[in-house]
Amino acid sequence: MSDQIQTVSYRDVGVGSVDRNRVLRNTYLLLAISMLPTVLGAWLGVSTGLHKAFSGMLGMVLFLGAAFGFMYAIERTKESSKGVFVLLAFTFFMGLMLSGLISAVLGFRNGPQLIMTAFAGTAGVFFAMASLASVIKRDLSGMGKWLFVGAIVLLVASLINAFVGSTAGMMAISTLAILIFSAFMLYDIRRVIDGGETNYISATLAIYLDVFNVFQSLLSLLGIMGGERD
């Protein structure tokens, strides 16, 4: 169902254009499907308040532990159909975690409009990066290490700001996250096109995390800057 993951260029391993197109097509299809459990998880979290179990610093630690556990399980099962179900379970969990932010934004008078704006903005970023990845000729393999460093800096800054509680810090972190994960989106899509990633489950996981982080950061930024209280 999925191919053995490769870490070198398709020119070196002979991955044909048909194979690369199939991986890209399957990745986009699974990415679209993964939005359904995400929405379901978000709805359930908002309706029941389950996201409150992951509030505070302890909640953040539990969230990170569960998230990395899911990602480890996905990588372990990516060579079989089980990987698809583990991935979908992970996206449901991520939707559940997103419900805390969505609940907060829905507390604004214009909350639904902010959510739709964040959704449209994220879709726009995705289509822009996907289009750019399909036409760009430059080798982007060198971006990976710099983006990884940027993501680590972003994580550390987020943990520090969780203690500080600075609104300005949150705005800066959200803006930086949008930039970093938009670039990650371009990089991850291009890896599939170049044949550097031949497992569509792994590819979907990477791009899903990019999309999720762009949406979450954009929604946070919109809530801070444009939320209207009654």
Residue type for position 164: V
- In the chain, pLDDT over 90 holds for what percent of residues? 54
Q: What's the rounded Cα separation, in Å, for the pair 225 and 178? A: 15
Model pLDDT, residue 183: 94
3-class SS of residue 169: helix
* Residue-level pLDDT at 105: 92
* DSSP state letter for 223: H
Residue 48: pLDDT band (50, 70, 90) is confident
pLDDT higher for 215 or 197?
A: 215
Q: How confident is the model at residue 7 (pLDDT cuts 50, 70, 90)?
A: very low
pLDDT tens-digit series, residues 62-109: 788 888 999 999 999 999 889 999 999 999 999 999 998 999 999 898
Domain residue ranges of the chain, discontinuous segments joined by +: 11-226
Does residue 114 register a pLDDT over 70?
Answer: yes
Per residue in 173-183, pLDDT tens?
Answer: 999 999 999 99
Tell me the average pLDDT of the chain: 86
| pLDDT of 42 above 70 | yes
- What tokens were used for 63? 């969230």
Find the largest Cα–Cα distance for the chain. Answer: 61
pLDDT (average), residues 123-135: 94
Q: How many other C-beta atoms are found inside a 10 Å radius of the C-beta of residue 47?
A: 10
